[in-house]
């Protein structure tokens, strides 16, 4: 491997700061519907009630995801209040911890240049940045998984009697336990598969027999006991509860089996339609602008294994990345953000490939990647011209200034210019999306807009708002964003009888779809419209919605109404 490819410290720190900044721009757009708003509501209920054992959604028991992210966000809400930044900030901090661990892990086995490039790749991978705006479990897992691997690697590299070895084992087990309480038992694959593959490929298979690793498993399970306790208290002690349309549902069984293996085999209560090549093409855009060097880096590493030459300093990154990739590809339930949790390993594989190139080949890569960066800039400008957001001239000026600065600062075709151009291209894209486009698009989350209208009213205390959402389950639409952003209480009602019961004290403020409001009026309820609010499912953007000229025909109305009982 070439030893001369090291970024000057001042440039590395500057580009890292820019990478942190572009991820931090995701703090400010409102919490995105549907999943983000649902999770924010669960944490809000936890923070306000003080009940950190039971999870509730839509006013009912909720069994789908483990507790850890909700505990962290609820603590953040108690510190900073219930708001957008307080919901997203903990996830960003866990992601940045993952960036630090990525550098430290790469620095143990590779040159300083590889560690530097890995950091910048991780900070600029498309879906990683996106997940720091549309926050779910993945930013937490990004930090927890690579952190656990780092500490376990330190244990492997040292002797049992070395100072601090048991501390490293304990920290790795703690992070593993937190990861288990974030996503379930499948996190053991990205944490353990790479280590096992490294031991097998390097002839250290006896490491599998070392007692310390069985101790790590036991400690990890010990740190998972808070999750087991909460699930047992909420569900196993109450078999009469109806969950997924059934009674006698075990929360502990769901945690250990149905939530993960049920999705993998598509036999659980939540099903999907798996495509064995889904992540092959998904990574092409999810890991932009680094997907091509990633694929070639993985291909070269695998070819080296087959031909038994050009061995890697470590096979943890390859093993964890590929094992998780294969596992999710075979799963019956697939979503693009699933692969984010192994982006640190992909970043290391990408970095070791780029840093190992000869100067002539690196120049060609710099030019090729610059074309990809240029296309991202063109995409940014195209989105602005089609969407026509407020402050369009300011947004275009931002793009022009960034392009000009990049051209002046990074004029050569070396590794520094390659990294600088890519960081700048991604900064342009997400600066445009997070600072100019999302603030306009997310106004079409009707629930948030309605909550803002109600919050602005001078009435104190805030009246209860009825959220009329007929049907069963947690539903969807724009109700969760209303519940999260409303400063007053919200109560879900699902049937005519439930509505009638809530109206006994008198007329009630209600948020619902225009169609459901009309349906209530047709069945005899008194309806007085207070506001009509346009709605679009903003997590599934379409060209017609993005285009300001055709946006109106993609919208459907929600309404704030005052509803009176049939008897009035």
DSSP states along 10-27: HHHHHHHHHHHHHHHGGG
pTM: 0.94
At 1, is the pLDDT very low, low, confident or very high (cuts 50, 70, 90)? Answer: very low
Would you state the pLDDT for residue 405? 95
Q: Which of 106-110, 269-273, 305-309 has the lowest average pLDDT? A: 269-273
At 2, is the pLDDT very low, low, confident or very high (cuts 50, 70, 90)? Answer: very low
At 187, is the pLDDT very low, low, confident or very high (cuts 50, 70, 90)? Answer: very high
Mean pLDDT of the chain: 92
Quote the tokens at residue 100: 């630090």
At 197, is the pLDDT very low, low, confident or very high (cuts 50, 70, 90)? Answer: very high
The mean per-residue pLDDT over the stretch 45-60 comes to 95
Would you state the pLDDT for residue 270? 58
At 309, is the pLDDT very low, low, confident or very high (cuts 50, 70, 90)? Answer: confident
Would you state the pLDDT for residue 433? 94
d(CA 18, CA 21): 5
- The pLDDT of residue 113 is above 50: yes
Dump pLDDT digits (tens) for 441-459: 999 999 999 999 999 988 7
The mean per-residue pLDDT over the stretch 308-318 comes to 89
d(CA 513, CA 476): 12
Would you state the pLDDT for residue 3? 44
What are the structural domain ranges in the chain? 63-267+278-355, 359-442, 445-564
Calculate ∠ Cα 280-283-285, nearest 5°: 125
At 265, is the pLDDT very low, low, confident or very high (cuts 50, 70, 90)? Answer: low
User: 297 forms bridges with which residues in the sheet?
Assistant: none
d(CA 384, CA 390): 10
More confident residue, 340 or 159: 340
User: 557 forms bridges with which residues in the sheet?
Assistant: 534
High-pLDDT (> 70) share of the chain, %: 95
């Amino acid at each position: 491997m070439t030893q001369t490819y090291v970024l000057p410290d001042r440039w590395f720190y500057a580009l890292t700061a820019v990478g942190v900044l572009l991820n931090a721009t995701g703090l400010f757009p409102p919490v995105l519907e549907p999943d983000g708003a649902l999770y924010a509501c669960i944490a809000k209920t936890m923070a306000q009630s003080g009940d950190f054992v039971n999870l509730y959604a839509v006013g009912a028991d909720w069994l789908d995801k483990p507790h850890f992210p909700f505990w962290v966000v609820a603590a953040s809400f108690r510190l900073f209040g219930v708001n957008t930044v307080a919901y997203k900030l903990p996830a960003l901090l866990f992601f940045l911890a993952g960036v630090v661990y990525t550098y430290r892990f790469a620095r143990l086995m590779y040159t300083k240049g590889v560690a530097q490039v890995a950091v910048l790749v991780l900070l600029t991978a498309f879906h990683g940045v996106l997940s720091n705006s549309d926050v779910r479990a993945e930013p937490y897992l990004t930090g927890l998984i690579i952190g656990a691997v780092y500490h376990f690697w330190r244990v492997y590299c040292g002797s049992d009697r070395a100072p601090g070895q048991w501390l490293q084992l304990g920290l790795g087990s703690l992070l593993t336990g937190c990861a288990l309480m974030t996503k379930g038992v499948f996190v053991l694959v990205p944490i353990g598969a790479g280590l096992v593959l490294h031991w097998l490929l390097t002839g250290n298979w006896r490491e599998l027999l070392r007692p310390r690793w069985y101790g790590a498993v036991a400690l990890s399970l010990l740190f998972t006991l808070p999750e087991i306790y909460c699930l047992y208290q909420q569900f196993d002690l109450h078999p009469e509860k109806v969950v997924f349309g059934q009674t006698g549902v075990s929360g502990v069984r769901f945690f250990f089996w149905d939530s993960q293996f049920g999705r993998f085999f598509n036999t659980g209560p939540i099903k999907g339609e798996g495509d064995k090549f889904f992540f092959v093409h998904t990574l092409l855009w999810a890991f932009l602008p680094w997907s091509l060097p990633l694929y070639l880096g993985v291909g070269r590493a695998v070819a080296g294994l087959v031909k038994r030459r050009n061995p890697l300093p470590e096979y943890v990154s390859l093993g964890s990345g590929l094992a998780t990739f294969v596992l999710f590809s075979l799963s019956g339930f697939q979503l693009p953000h699933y692969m984010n949790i192994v982006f640190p390993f992909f970043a290391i594989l990408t970095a070791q490939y780029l840093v190992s190139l000869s100067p002539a080949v690196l120049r060609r890569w710099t030019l090729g990647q610059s074309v990809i960066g240029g296309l991202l800039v063109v995409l940014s400008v195209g989105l602005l011209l089609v969407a026509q957001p407020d402050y369009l001239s300011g947004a275009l000026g931002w793009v022009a200034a960034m392009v000009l600065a990049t051209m002046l600062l990074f004029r050569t075709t070396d590794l520094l210019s390659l990294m600088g151009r890519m960081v700048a291209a991604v900064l342009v894209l997400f600066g445009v999306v997070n600072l100019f486009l999302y603030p306009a698009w997310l106004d079409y989350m009707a629930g948030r807009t309605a909550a803002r209208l109600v919050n602005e009213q001078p009435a104190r205390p805030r009246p209860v708002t009825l959220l009329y959402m007929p049907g069963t389950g947690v539903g969807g639409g724009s109700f969760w964003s209303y519940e999260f952003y409303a400063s007053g209480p919200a109560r879900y009602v699902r049937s005519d009888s439930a509505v009638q019961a809530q109206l006994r004290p008198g007329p009630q403020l209600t948020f619902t779809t225009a169609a459901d409001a009309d349906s209530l009026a047709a069945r005899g309820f008194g309806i007085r419209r207070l506001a009509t609010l346009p709605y679009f499912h903003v997590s599934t953007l379409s060209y017609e919605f993005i285009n300001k000229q055709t946006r109106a025909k993609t919208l459907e109305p929600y309404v704030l109404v005052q509803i009176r009982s049939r008897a009035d």
